A and B are shown apart, each in its own frame.
Chain A
Amino acid sequence: MVAASSTDDAALPSSGGTVLSVLKKPSVIPGFGLTMGFTLAYLGLIVLLPLAALAVKAAGLGWAGFWNAVLTPRVLAAFEISFGLSLLAAAINAVFGFVVAWVLVRYRFPGAKIVDALVDLPFALPTAVAGIALSALYAPNGWIGQLLMDWFGLKVAFTPLGIAIALTFIGLPFVVRTVQPILQDLPPEEEEAAASLGATRWQSFRRVVFPSLFPALLTGFALAFARGVGEYGSVIFIAGNMPGVSEIVPLLIVIKLEQYDYAGAAAVATLMLAASFLLLLILNLLQAWMRSRHAR
């Protein structure tokens, strides 16, 4: 191995350690040790060590204790609410986010650039601000809440529906921002070929355009869903926070913590973290699929 890379090693003044060269290809650029050391130390101290503390605390409960803490009606209801409403919000965003992306890429209309910039607002607006604004809007005496109450007798704020509204706001940019670049790069020739072969506009959308956008749409959907499951700040103001009805998992974790039930909070948090990591894994697989589709 040393012989194989001898030409490169000749140009290498310092980092010639054999252990290092097994892990790293030789390079003339300095600073590997410094930057890698700092990166790993910072990552370890800020992210990995504290996450390990969570696992240690949850493990302290033992296997049976862990499931006892997690399999209570209140915790299960919170998981059902968080995951169910995040799915609903992500589905709403999949539909309307797709329409927004389509309109922004395919059509020219006045103010399109401003609309495009505004899509990122949920990323920039602090969640607490979004939360109080949405609950003021959808409260029974709010601008929208009053209309919905008068016309349909529908109560939105302080019900599960309010949670779905907040999660829709939070997840809005994801679908737009994953579909938009793919749609932009879509070769127009494919649609033209479909049209010249006699396809109607709807047929060429359904058979040619949509299949190429589907992986991106699914990725955006999954991102919005994952974000919704963990969301806290924008939800708690509009939710009403009734245990078993409109209490989300992150809020339940906070409540357990405030009651000094550290182990219980750690157990619920660990389960939620495991669910997030599973979602992350699925997302990575989706993105790999998307790249391979896109590269063709």
Chain B
Amino acid sequence: MLAKTSGQRPALDDRSWVRGLLILSALAFLLLFLVLPLVSVFVEAFRRGVGAYWDALIEPDALSAIHLTLIVAAIAVPLNLVFGVAASWCISKFDFRGKGLLITLIDLPFSVSPVISGIIYVLLFGLHGVVGPFLKSQGIQIIFAVPGLVLATIFVTFPFVARELIPLMQEQGTEEEEAALVLGASGWQTFWRVTLPNIKWGLMYGVLLCNARAMGEFGAVSVVSGHIRGETNTMPLHVEILYNEYNFVAAFSVASVLAMLALVTLVAKTALEWRFGAELAATRH
């Protein structure tokens, strides 16, 4: 009962004890490593009841962390969205030399440790950095301030939209755009009326993942933030501070909001995959 196979292909059927054993070990592994950590976030958050949970969320430092997280994501995600569309347009609609190199460079931030994604901006804009002294003389502060948080977040979420769109648009080719242009549409009209409707679900998929990472990023923003309470703390950094102060209920309360964001992201992502699986197929290679 537990483990029916498709039954269409008897040669592919495993013995029932093999099926049972494999399903059980897969579920046990996922229970141990995925479900329990997720459940424990909510259990720890409500350990002292709903009142303590709510208090931890409406406390001024928590509210300012939530506010800052939203601001950072509201800047980083649209910028990477525009970049993703522009990059995939020039990569998928044209043939030019060095395309492979360009794609590799766009993917580069994914293979860089989050800590390094933060440190590069400290070395560039920090007080002892390459252009730091000049910026200070101009009264501009980037590191230990909001611009640094935004830059580090843009870096770690850099490839998300582009890497969803590039394979999708490459698969769609250029015939539809060429037809629109031949019929007299302008470049912008072609983009808005032909290309955008074709890529909108892939675009949404990329933005969804980009946003989840932007709001949840820890390592990179931790390096550039300076951890000034109420000023440069995003939600993940606020979680860290509370946890290190042994204020576990408050730490898990704020963490539970981030966990809910992750769950909403997963549900939306799965819904997109089920509904528009065929259109997104190119991106899930």
Task: State the A residues within 8 Å of B (CB).
Answer: 23-25, 27-32, 34-36, 38-39, 42-43, 46-51, 53-54, 56-57, 96, 99-100, 102-104, 106-109, 113, 115, 117-130, 132-134, 136-137, 142-144, 165, 168-169, 172, 181, 188, 191-192, 194-196, 201, 204, 226, 229-233, 237, 249-251, 253-254, 257, 260, 262, 265-266, 269, 272-273, 276-277, 279-280, 284
A-B contact count (CB 8 A): 309
Mark B residues whose CB is within 8 Å of A. 2-6, 9, 11-12, 14-15, 18-19, 22-23, 25-27, 29-30, 32-38, 40-41, 44, 79, 82-83, 86-87, 89-90, 93-98, 102, 104-106, 108-109, 111-116, 119-124, 126, 128-130, 151, 154-155, 158, 174, 177-178, 181-182, 187, 190-191, 209, 212, 215-219, 222-223, 235-237, 239-240, 243, 248, 251-252, 255, 258-259, 261-263, 265-267, 269-270, 284-285
Whether A57 pairs with B155 at a CB distance below 8 angstroms is no
Residues of chain B with a CB closer than 8 A to A48's CB: 105
Known A-B contacts A48-B105, A118-B30; the reply to A129 vs B258 at CB < 8 A is yes
Taking A38-B86, A47-B109, A230-B116 as contacts, is the C-beta distance between A99 and B22 under 8 angstroms?
A: yes
Main secondary structure of the interface of B (DSSP, over half): helix
Question: Are B128 and A181 in contact, with the CB atoms below 8 A?
Answer: no
> B111: which A residues are within 8 A, CB to CB?
226, 230, 276-277, 279-280
A279 contacts across to B, CB distance below 8 A: 111
Interchain CB contact (< 8 A) of B114 among A28, A51, A250: A250
B113 and A229 form a contact (CB under 8 A): yes
* B236 / chain A contacts, CB cutoff of 8 Å: 126-129, 233
| Interface of chain A, main secondary structure | helix
Which residues in B have their C-beta under 8 angstroms from that of A144?
32, 36
Q: Contact: B123 with A53, CB < 8 Å?
A: yes
- 26 inter-chain pairs at a CB distance below 8 angstroms, sorted by A residue, are A30-B181, A31-B89, A39-B87, A39-B102, A47-B105, A47-B158, A53-B129, A96-B29, A117-B269, A121-B266, A126-B216, A128-B258, A133-B44, A133-B255, A137-B40, A188-B12, A191-B9, A194-B11, A231-B114, A232-B219, A253-B115, A253-B116, A253-B119, A257-B223, A272-B116, A276-B113
CB contacts (< 8 Å) of B38 on chain A: these are 121, 125, 133
A201 near B109 with CB under 8 A, answer: no
B223 touches A137 (CB 8 A): no
Q: Which residues of B contact A102 (CB under 8 A)?
A: 22, 26
Q: In whole angstroms, what is the CA distance A29 to B90 when docked? A: 10
Q: How far is the CA of A182 from the CA of B38 in the complex (A)?
A: 29
A204 to B18, CA, bound (A): 15
Residues of B within 8 A of A120 (CB): 266, 269
Whether A126 and B3, one on each chain, are in contact in the complex, defined by CB atoms closer than 8 angstroms, is no
What distance in Å separates the Cβ of A15 from its nearest Cβ neighbour in chain B?
10
**Does the CB pair B123–A54 fall under 8 Å?**
yes
The 5 closest A-B pairs by CB, nearest first: A126-B216, A230-B113, A233-B218, A232-B219, A50-B120
Q: Which residues of A contact B82 (CB under 8 A)?
A: 38
Q: Are A192 and B12 in contact (CB under 8 A)?
A: yes
Contact partners of B263 in chain A: CB under 8 A: 124
CA distance A46 to B109 in the complex (A): 10
- Are A169 and B37 in touch, CB under 8 angstroms? yes
Q: What CA separation (Å) do A236 and B90 show in the bound complex?
A: 40
Known A-B contacts A122-B34, A266-B123; the reply to A250 vs B115 at CB < 8 A is: yes
Query: In the bound complex, what is the Cα–Cα distance between A47 and B158 (angstroms)?
Result: 9
Given contacts A23-B96, A127-B219, contact A47 B27 (CB under 8 A): no
B12 near A191 with CB under 8 A, answer: yes
Contact A53 B124 (CB under 8 A): yes
Chain A residue nearest to B218 in the complex (CB): A233
Q: Kindly list chain A residues whose C-beta atoms are within 8 Å of the C-beta of B261.
A: 126
Give the residues in chain B near A108, CB-CB below 8 Å: 3-6
Residue of B nearest to A226 (CB): B111
Q: Is the CB of B187 within 8 A of A133?
A: no
Contacts A39-B102, A54-B123, A132-B243 hold; do A272 and B113 have CB atoms under 8 A apart? Answer: yes
A202 CB to nearest chain B CB (Å): 9
Contact residues in A for B243 (Cβ distance below 8 Å): 132, 237
Alpha-carbon distance between A127 and B259 when the two chains are bound, in angstroms: 10
